[in-house]
Amino acid sequence: MAKEIKSTTVTIEKEVKKSLKQKGTSNKKNISVLKSTGLNKQQILDSLRLMLLARGIDNKAMNLLKQGRTFFHIAGSGHEAIQTAVGMAIDSNNDWLFPYYRDLAVVLAAGTTPVDFFMECFSKADDPNSGARQLPCHWGSKKINLPSQSSPTGTQFLQAVGTALSLKRRNKNNFAFVSSGEGTTSQGEFHEAVNWASREKLPVLFLIENNKYAISVNVSQQSGGKNHSISEMMSGYKNLLRLSIDGTDYSESHNAVKEALKYLKSGKGPVLIEAYVVRLLSHSSSDDQKKYRDAKELEEDLKNCPILKLSTKLIDEKIITEDEFKQIKEDVNKEINKAVDESINMPDPLPETASRYVFDESGKKESLSYESSIPEGAPVVMVDAINHALHEEMENNENIYVFGEDIADRKGGVFTVTKGLSTTFGEERVFNSPLAEASIMGVATGMALTGLKPVVEIQFGDYIWPGLMQIKSEIATMRYRSNNTWFAPVVTRVPVGGYIHGGLYHSQNIESIFAHIPGLFIAYPSNAADAKGLLKTACRIDDPVIFCEHKGLYRQSSAMSPEPDENYLLPFGKAKVVKEGTDITVISYGVSMWDSVLAAKTLADEGYSVEVIDLRTIIPLDVETIFNSVKKTNKAVVIHEDTLTGGFGAEIVSRISDECFEYLDGPIKRIAAIDAHIPYSPILENAVLPNRKRIYEGIKNLLKY
């Protein structure tokens, strides 16, 4: 590619000189680069150099891959003009960057170095992007406000909105930049992000780099906008400034970015720039675009190479000479080669570090004072205990923001858990979100990255699934994938469970799904005091938490308890023996725990001694309490409301089998919901979910084994 650029540039220069000589005059119809941009010569040369640096790194990375020294690369060749214009305009100390994997020139302009790039390319231990944990071209840097980027396309949009919301709430006159290719605008999260940003007039610069191909799929098969334009598709948003430009023309790109920043700073709303660019190399090193693109089309794209266009214009206008251009390229190549030599000799990561930073290792959660008092306030139901915890923690920490669907007053949540919060703390800190779970989770992630502490509500566990991508691939992985540089300690409150005649879509249990995701803590309290203590802890630690609240226990008298004071915290990973016994161990949580206690009391009247353990948290799991009990009783049964197949009880059974096999006097049993959806009819619901009779009989059968 480098040879192609050089030869093409020389050819154009000869043709221009020939034309000028024939006319005997300069072409005065074109406005000069300096005049059209308002930049001085040095600024223009800095931009040209940056474009050459990005292109040179692309070429070098592809050569290294062909040599078998690296494994993957995604090139930005053909996108450099608009990327450089944006990158040069960003204040990396105060603005925020959410680029996509092709944005090499953006991150170089913002402060990433060639050495940084090649350390990631060679997967070196000191790679500042991810510590060798992510693919190349997955940017991340604390020093330039560039949160760790992931591979799922489009997840960055809502995070940028959350960051911009944080900037606006704190009266910071800066903006969040976010970009993607045109293909990613087919993702729903892109539309959710534009909607939220436009509605609240947030300072978000959306850059869509339209090279017409999402891997092999043409934009004509992606966008429903007029002429397949992304900008046209967004025409309904009145607060959104839309600009459609030639992204291969540096002057046009620079001026568009300047106009965009003026609009953003005015507070009128977000900006969307659709920049038409060319993809000079295949989608990635794993792709070959010659299989699906015509040779003529590729040849035409090469004529629109942004480096050719800018360098030829600068030479034509005598801003630089051909020799000066050649010298810049030589200097750039020397810098790249030096960066490669420096990076390749750096230390590789150690195998023993592979599992570090799944969770916070700073010692913060261990330093908290747990159970510093005994709950002895007036008896309180669980819903009120949770409400009081939120009030106390918002009073304690001004960085806590609470939002979700219908959570503001006068509604105060569909279960009134958040009642009074917006009245007390104002609608800046407690507010209703759009009816979009991905938006809730993505915006919360962006806010958390700026240092805020979002405590969000998903109205029902049944509807958390649109937000699963943000939870699974973004929140849970943020600390790990950035090698402990970034983290997003979002607290997600979720009403879950059945027994309320809610049918298929208001009764789901979610804990086993989320327990499979490294990086998430999962709380599942069974009484008011535990709910308050665990939620307050969740609000203070730096790990993300899924906080399961069983709807059937919100106002259940059995779940009432004396209320703890404002300093009461419960540690995650500490189960509670709610009833001691010697004949059998019952491990449970949620409503099933209370049904187990009831069965244990009935069995006590029959002469059996049943020990009941309330897990309180699913992750971390208190295996020590479980193992000690099983070694004492020699029998174990795990009871939960979720389905039998794949339920979290299977994990507990497996661990008991691994660690306590020689102590067992019988099989480890599970009592759970049958493998069916939860129906509306109380008769059918009772048949599906574990009921008191089935729990009693299941425990007794194992006792008699």
Which secondary structure element, helix H or strand E, spans residue 323, and what is its range? helix 322-344
The total of other beta-carbon atoms located within 10 Å of residue 666's CB is 15
> What is the C-alpha to C-alpha distance for residues 581 and 589, in angstroms, rounded to an integer?
17
With contact defined as beta carbons under 8 Å apart, do 699 and 603 qualify? yes
Per-residue CA distances from 50 to 105, 113, 304 (Å): 7, 11, 18
- Hey, how many other C-beta atoms are within 10 angstroms of the C-beta on 484? 14
Are 231 and 242 in contact, with CB atoms under 8 Å apart? yes
Residue 311 near residue 327 (C-beta atoms within 8 A): no
Look at residues 555, 480, 554 and name the one whose alpha carbon lies nearest to residue 518: 480
Backbone angles phi, psi at 305, to 5 degrees: -55, 120
What is the crossing angle of helices 437-449 and 188-199, to 10°? 70
The DSSP line for 529-580 is HHHHHHHHHHTTSSS-EEEEEEGGGTT-GGG-EEPP-TT----TT--EEEE-
Contact 289, 298 (CB under 8 A): yes
Per residue in 97-118, is it b (16+ CB within 10 Å) or e — as a string? bbbbbbbbbbbbbbbbebbbbb
Is the CA virtual torsion 332, 333, 338, 339 positive or negative?
A: positive
Alpha helix segments (H runs only) across 638-681: 648-660
Which tokens go with 372?
């510093």
Give the catalytic positions in this structure.
506
Total H helices, total E strands in the chain: 26, 21
CA 389 to CA 533: how far, in whole Å? 8
